[in-house]
Structure 1
Amino acid sequence: MKLTHQIKYIFLACIFPIFSIAQDYFYKDKQPFNSEIPSPESFLGYSIGEQHTRHDQIVAYFIKLAEISDKASITIYGKTHENRKLVMLTVSSTQNINNLSSLKEQHLTFTDPNKTATNYDEIPVFVQLGYNVHGNEPSSAEAAMLTAYTLIASTSEEVTQYIENAIVFIDPTINPDGRDRHTQWANQFKGSPLVSDNYDAEHNEMWPRGRTNHYWFDLNRDWLLGINPESKGKLKWYHEWYPNVVTDFHEMGTNSTYFFEPMKPIGSQDPIMPKENYKDLNNLFAPYFSSALDNIGSFYFTKEAFDGTYPGYGSSYPDLQGGLALLFEQASSRGHLQDTDYGTISFPFTIRNQYISSIATIKAAVENRVVLRKYQQDFFKSAVNTTLKKGVNAYEFGDLYDQNRNKAFIDKLLLHKIKVYKNGKRFVVPVKQPQQRMVQTIFETYTKYRDSVFYDASAWSLANFYNMKYKVVPATNLNEQISTTDDLVSFEKTEKSNYAYILDWDDYNAPAALYHMQSQGLKVAAAFKPFSSMTSVGEKNFNYGSILIPVSKQEKTSDEVYAIIKETQNKFNVPVYATNSGFSTNGIDLGSRNFQKLDTPKAVLLVGDGVSSYEAGEVWHLLDTRVHMPITKLQINDFDRLPLEKYTTMVMVSGGYKQLDSLRQKKIKNWVEQGNTLVTISRASKWAIDKKIVKENLTKKPKDTTKNKKVKRLPYVDAGENIGRERLGGAIFEVDLDITHPLGFGYRNRSLPVYKNNEVFVVPSENPYATVAKYTNNAHIDGYISIDNYENYLKPSASLIVSKLGGGRVILFADNPNFRGSWYGTNRLFLNALFLGNHINVPKVEK
């Protein structure tokens, strides 16, 4: 027993100094601390920065803090795709926590344009600290634990003042799925002693890496789009609290230093964001960050990088909600210790900078809370008192043929607290409302920009994402306000038929309904010409692609068929009609050869090194979450093991595909020639052309025949800007779509917005029937594109073509129809490729 006690004493003597040193490194100046509150080190059993902390450990620590301290409470605001908890720790003084409901009510008064409050200095400022939106940028989540501990445990006069005058909401891990993917990687490859060599496995994650969430989405682009549960939960929380300040902590290249705002000047010529935000408030906070970092000897930069033009970042969305959003970027150790041009950078060092900036943010917010509250109040009042552009009072929209796409669009508007009204079969959004700037964001388009180099997309008009045609109308036609879309989609329940059922292919949910019926064993056929038929609800006109379910052709009884039809309609809320006759009142009859039987698609998606995880994730997400259709994700290194004959369709997204040598290319080509379908997206289409999988061409700029052309000298310092000007970061263009082509089935209008964020320009096919979508002469809708790219490359090009290859075909998308899970308007093109692709037979034309 005595020996055991002696060993225990030696162990504790070794461990506690380590904890003490680690703690002093981060927050020595915040002492003394309440000994009853466990530090992160004592709770976890290791020093912060010694290893990467799993998300569940962070959550457990926050739960413990909320349990033992009356200065904190914890809320679960959602769950990730992988069922990890999304938590928010609220920290303030005991009195503020006890009176939080009352303080919240008073705080929200400043967001109500119909109310006027003047007690700017009497209510604590609301600060939301957001960390780790990119999973493999881990330092900030560790700093979140240090910040929470400091605010709760420190009894210093400085920290006491902060929690008396601020309500601090700490979101430690915005992207838990990605964080844990990276945490596992970094910890499993951690060496002892630490290995700082940049080439060590610890510093080089394997595909798809930890930046993204479960479906490989970049959640820092999802605030506006609101596609993923992480973002939906955060947006719901956000619009409940409207914090005055929001932080967005990131990491960047290992050889960088540290960045805080102000950013580079905003790219838009006429920004929606008030200039008081990006000029006055940013400059007000910057001295706090520089002073804090100067005190610990950290180097940093401002103004020359990043931009807040796109409103979907964590560092820009709050700027359109009356708050101040702040971006921080820390040079990453990408592990525990890594070499840089100036020596090594350690994980604890990166954590300390993020922690110091967190505390500096709270200090700046507390000392400028009057300015922040007055700004928030003016922001929302100006939204309803602003002078509108001439004649732009409201926007009317609504697709008469696609109720589920209407619903999806309105769901997005409601997610952002935009007021929507029903006007007959259409809908109206008035411009003058508290969310006026979000209305502008979603409907307005732009052609002029102050800057031509964007950090990300330059176009984000969501109405175009959804292919939602709209027009400007007077705001007087406001009837019933829509508060929920639960009952927005309404179809008559299908009656039983012993003859046939018809599914309307125009509806966004039709592909999901089709796959469900196929998976239940029903035989179906698609109409390759339109027709009119008498149904249980009267005469009905059916568009190209309408799905026929003949009862007598099934291997099931009519009752079993009807049960599946009812289940399908209830699950997907789609228009399905019963008919008792094959004779059509107009167009083809139900026994026509223009109805073609559809086999259940069996698709494979190539993933892995060299493949765009973003685009691959978009395909996976679409099929998983909306179509409920499985797709095989094949690691490209396993390609040789793949029995291609099992599959009807292969999808290739942007990538280099260096692993696919000439023999493997021939294997793909032979498989297509046997009657199958290869679908290529964006840079994969360029790959298919370059590797001569198809006999198509990329658009080339006309040759300049000017003799003795002189090269104009330009300043060296401008090279980056000039070259970047030719990059197409993301813009929206109009195409003319052949709606009689199987890929165009389900569309009623030939004009279709598409999203382009690449320099893949494809020459229209020499076959007059094979160019499905071509950019129009006046194609530009929204976003930046250089004159050279627009005139010489885009306008002469095709957006979508089908290239015949033996008995099969290659469907080449020059653009991305599934961009960020948000392009409801062009998803149908891709889904048609999966469900109808094997029925596309490009007619042979003699030259």
Structure 2
Amino acid sequence: MHFKQFLTSLTLLFFVNILVAQNYFLEKYEPFNKDIPSPEEFLGYGIGEYHTRHDLIVAYFEELAKVSDKAEIEVYGKTHEKRKLVMLRVSNKENLTNIDDLKQKHLNYLNSVGDEDYSALPVFVNLGYGVHGNEPSSAEAALLVAYTLVASENPEILNYVKNSIVFIDPAINPDGRDRHTQWANQYRSNNLVSDNVEAEHNEAWPKGRTNHYWFDLNRDWLLAVHPESQSKLNWYHSWYPNVTTDFHEMGTNSTYFFEPKRTSALTKPLPPKENYEDLNNMFAKYFQKSLDSIGGFYFTSEAFDGTYPGYGSTYPDLQGGLGLLFEQASSRGHVQDTDFGKITFPFTIRNQYVSSLATLQASVENKDFLRKYQQDFFNSAKAASAKNGVAAYEISEKYDNNRKKAFVDFLLKHNIEVYKKNDQSFIIPLNQPQKRMVQTMFETNKKFVDSVFYDASAWNVVDFYNIDYKELTKSPSLGEKITETSSLVKVEKIIKTNYAYILDWDDYNASAALYFLQTKGLKAASAFKPFTIETTSGVKSFNYGSMMFPVSKQTFDSNKVYEIIAEAQEKFNVPIWAVNSGMSSKGIPLGSRDFIKVDKPKVAMLIGDGVSPYEAGEVWHLLDTRIEMPITKIQLHNFNRVDFSKYNTLVMVSGSYYQLDSLKLEKLQNWVKEGNTLVTIGGASKWAVSKKVVAEKLVVQNKDSVAKRVSYVNAAEDIGKQRLGGAIFEVDLDVSHPLGFGYRDSKIPVYKNNLTFIKSSKNIYSTVAKYTNDPLINGFISPKNLDLLSKSASLIVSPIGRGRVILFADNPNFRGAWYGTNKMFMNALFFGSKIRVPKG
């Protein structure tokens, strides 16, 4: 088909009658069982005529399960906004009747006890759709796929149903989908408007791509921060499908993408070579044939690298399955102009529908290969020698048990075997079915075969949690296998005192406990120097930042104070100690001037057009779900209407902030000068420096006087190399600074995914964290950017009048997973107003 024909086919779709349009999808698979309602009959409109709400998708799946013995529905979780996460299980009656037995036999293959009759079982296929809410075509295709498999009496479909168990997940991100669905239907005209600037095609901030907290769930398969991902992982590790699809959309002027992806940038990819070569090429022939049959244009291999293991199309590759990515040019509404004519919503849906059925065909016709491959995958995980002779990893954390528990919780979500060595240490052996996932969590990479990444280039999650670990060349004898973590944090129950209580600030949950206690009306003072003191449980040493609650200074009697303290300890499982005297055996006494009262944070954050919804969502999620601290989200267009005197702390994440003209900038600066705290992250720190909000400077590259001449064809690659998609670096943190309170080791990992490079402050006390001499821990950074990084600071406090700006060059809250640097951000909120920058 030539592009002229392609244009004509798109334009014809725009005028087609909706009744005929349903045949446009389905006619190949006639006849259909008339007792099974089609999506059109159930919804009252044809697929592609409107965007379908998630509750209607669920209702249709429930109807199919009700009227047919070929379908069963399972609710496997709920979203933040309490929408159902559902899986429609489709096969023939015999298979579904014996599903428990088939599941066990399937899992037996993973444990190397299945026999070699690989054709005896149906293939398990998970058709996953809609992880990005404003990429809506795939969930509509899911309705058509479900109807086809349940209702079609065509021999081809009957064969698929007989030889497969199909799990249809119509929308992995229902919250984002409904946000976009409401937008598209709200602006839909009876006379469809294809103009690109039409409101229907241009959602308002934060758009529907993300979930409730504005996170990209397609990056969360590995990090498992959100209930959508946690529920999906729990489901996935109970079934281990042979094939998993991941349907997406891309730019309107694109065509269609299917795998293979661009070559992995890792020198030694963790999935076996059979995965990214044999299986991908095997399935690609089916996609090519199916799209050729409808005159579809497509591309493959030249984009969407599979390096990051946390996508819906890459995580299955580390579980013995085949993950498959599809990308469809988006109509972003119901019809939109492109360079080659009009692209319609039905057109985008059809490509996803056709590729779904091609996936089933390929899976059924190669099920023996897929099943043997998965069995071999797990056998090789247990048999293959460890990289660099590593047999196991030992993790330890002496001072922060809740952060350690969070990391062990994380490992268990991925079905990784963890064994207890003692109260501080755990062993994670490589000789286990999830060996490749263990390698993912711990191994580092500094050399790559490519230097352009679609996403992050570093993801060794042990550094995300700032957990000490060491490689073991011999696997030690394994102790108790950890199956749950509720008993990992044991705190001694607080004893009542009439003098004072001390909260250990080293603990990750200390911030949440402090805010809770402040909300209950208790007054707290923080130790700006360490001390050792006799507690009711013996002599204890306390670090910088430890919180003291003097009983006699409270507005409640001692019984009520104890009740509130005990409630906080039980709620957050934090170490709190009682003392009966203020005299320390070492360091400052409890009456010292270095115990400074800490005020309750009153936090706001600027959001809206031009602001990164990802970073804003990370802040919101951290405060809302872990600290239980409300944060006021202020739309930039309301800036002049806001009385900022209600807040003592304002957060600005990466963004352009073009709405802040000179008058608004002056209002912001005056608010800071009055003694308040502005916290900037990443691009916002660069903005604050460039707008001269602070008297700091950026590190800039010395430009060559004579520009070099390079080939035009390499432009995208050359520019891409200078992006910093995400890498991990080591910084030297001043643990005596209030922003460093609660840290014991001055060397900590940080995550950088921006090009914000700030010079160390001229004030010798203001640079709180600076990159070390050899800072790269894991990931890719170009030599040019590494040079800039080596001359810059990671964290600075810059005074303005009686206030201050706290500038994070990096992102301390990246994707909700950086437990190791969250504390620095929380310190900025709790201690910001107490930071007095000495002249130096």
CA shift at 1:702, angstroms? Answer: 4.1
Q: Which letter maps to 2:292?
A: D
1:571 corresponds in structure 2 to 571
2:60 corresponds in structure 1 to 61
Q: Secondary structure at the match of 1:427?
A: strand
Q: Which letter maps to 2:821?
A: T
Q: Secondary structure at the match of 1:505?
A: coil
Does the CA contact (< 8 Å) of 2:463 and 2:749 recur in 1? yes
Residue 742, structure 1, aligned to residue 719, structure 2 = no
2:125 corresponds in structure 1 to 127
Whole-angstrom CA distance in 2 between matches of 1:354 and 1:125 = 21
Whole-angstrom CA distance in 2 between matches of 1:637 and 1:57 = 35
CA shift at 1:841, angstroms? Answer: 0.6
1:524 corresponds in structure 2 to 524
2:819 corresponds in structure 1 to 824
Q: Secondary structure at the match of 2:541?
A: strand
Alignment of 1:85-96 (within 5 A): 85-96=84-95
Alignment of 1:65-104 (within 5 A): 65-104=64-103
Does the CA contact (< 8 Å) of 1:391 and 1:472 recur in 2? no
CA shift at 1:703, angstroms? Answer: 5.8
Q: Secondary structure at the match of 1:289?
A: helix
Does the CA contact (< 8 Å) of 1:88 and 1:172 recur in 2? yes
Q: Which letter maps to 1:744?
A: G
Q: Which letter maps to 1:811?
A: I
Can you list the C-alpha shifts for 1:522-566, whole angstroms capped at 9, x where unaligned? 011110000011112100000000000110001001111111111
Q: Secondary structure at the match of 1:494?
A: coil
2:833 corresponds in structure 1 to 838
CA shift at 1:23, angstroms? Answer: 2.2
Whole-angstrom CA distance in 1 between matches of 2:316 and 2:425 = 30
2:323 corresponds in structure 1 to 325
Does the CA contact (< 8 Å) of 2:105 and 2:114 recur in 1? no
Does the CA contact (< 8 Å) of 2:19 and 2:46 recur in 1? no
Which one is further off, 472-481 or 835-844?
Answer: 472-481
Aligned pairs, how many? 823
CA shift at 1:389, angstroms? Answer: 2.7
1:659 corresponds in structure 2 to 659
Can you list the C-alpha shifts for 1:33-56, whole angstroms capped at 9, x where unaligned? 000000000000001000000000
Whole-angstrom CA distance in 1 between matches of 2:399 and 2:547 = 15
Residue 46, structure 1, aligned to residue 51, structure 2 = no
Residue 631, structure 1, aligned to residue 636, structure 2 = no
Can you list the C-alpha shifts for 1:485-506, whole angstroms capped at 9, x where unaligned? 0111101100111111000000
CA shift at 1:116, angstroms? Answer: 4.6
Q: Secondary structure at the match of 1:243?
A: coil
1:619 corresponds in structure 2 to 619
User: Could you tell me the TM-score, scaled by structure 1's length?
Assistant: 0.96
1:343 corresponds in structure 2 to 341
Alignment of 1:713-728 (within 5 A): 713-728=709-724
CA shift at 1:138, angstroms? Answer: 0.3
1:766 corresponds in structure 2 to 762
1:232 corresponds in structure 2 to 230
Alignment of 1:447-466 (within 5 A): 447-466=446-465
Whole-angstrom CA distance in 2 between matches of 1:187 and 1:691 = 40
Whole-angstrom CA distance in 1 between matches of 2:256 and 2:388 = 44
Alignment of 1:339-418 (within 5 A): 339-418=337-416
Whole-angstrom CA distance in 1 between matches of 2:260 and 2:610 = 35
CA shift at 1:117, angstroms? Answer: 2.3
Whole-angstrom CA distance in 1 between matches of 2:737 and 2:114 = 58
Q: Which letter maps to 1:723?
A: I
CA shift at 1:20, angstroms? Answer: 4.2
Amino-acid identity (%): 64
Q: Secondary structure at the match of 2:350?
A: helix
Q: Secondary structure at the match of 1:224?
A: helix
Does the CA contact (< 8 Å) of 2:74 and 2:86 recur in 1? yes
Alignment of 1:13-32 (within 5 A): 20-32=19-31
Whole-angstrom CA distance in 2 between matches of 1:193 and 1:505 = 62
1:789 corresponds in structure 2 to 785
1:193 corresponds in structure 2 to 191
1:14 corresponds in structure 2 to none
Does the CA contact (< 8 Å) of 2:18 and 2:49 recur in 1? no
Whole-angstrom CA distance in 1 between matches of 2:716 and 2:607 = 32
Whole-angstrom CA distance in 2 between matches of 1:264 and 1:750 = 39
Q: Which letter maps to 1:532?
A: T
CA shift at 1:701, angstroms? Answer: 2.4
Runs of 4+ in 1 over 2 A off after TM superposition: 17-20, 701-704, 709-715
Whole-angstrom CA distance in 2 between matches of 1:435 and 1:517 = 41
CA shift at 1:265, angstroms? Answer: 1.1
Whole-angstrom CA distance in 2 between matches of 1:606 and 1:559 = 41
1:556 corresponds in structure 2 to 556
Whole-angstrom CA distance in 2 between matches of 1:511 and 1:301 = 50
Whole-angstrom CA distance in 1 between matches of 2:179 and 2:114 = 48
| From 400, 421, 425, the counterpart of 1:423 | 421
CA shift at 1:18, angstroms? Answer: 5.8
2:13 corresponds in structure 1 to none
* Structure 1: runs of 5+ lacking an equivalent: 1-16
Alignment of 1:504-523 (within 5 A): 504-523=504-523
CA shift at 1:482, angstroms? Answer: 0.5
Which one is further off, 244-253 or 713-722?
Answer: 713-722
User: Could you tell me the TM-score, scaled by structure 2's length?
Assistant: 0.97
1:687 corresponds in structure 2 to 687
CA shift at 1:713, angstroms? Answer: 3.4
Whole-angstrom CA distance in 1 between matches of 2:767 and 2:82 = 44
Whole-angstrom CA distance in 1 between matches of 2:775 and 2:468 = 16
Does the CA contact (< 8 Å) of 2:652 and 2:680 recur in 1? yes
Does the CA contact (< 8 Å) of 1:19 and 1:42 recur in 2? no
Q: Which letter maps to 1:818?
A: N
Q: Which letter maps to 2:428?
A: V
Residue 802, structure 1, aligned to residue 836, structure 2 = no
Residue 756, structure 1, aligned to residue 733, structure 2 = no
| From 807, 810, 817, the counterpart of 1:812 | 807
Q: Which letter maps to 2:52?
A: T
Alignment of 1:139-538 (within 5 A): 139-424=137-422, 425-473=424-472, 474-538=474-538
Q: Which letter maps to 2:209?
A: R
Does the CA contact (< 8 Å) of 1:754 and 1:826 recur in 2? yes
Q: Which letter maps to 1:491?
A: V
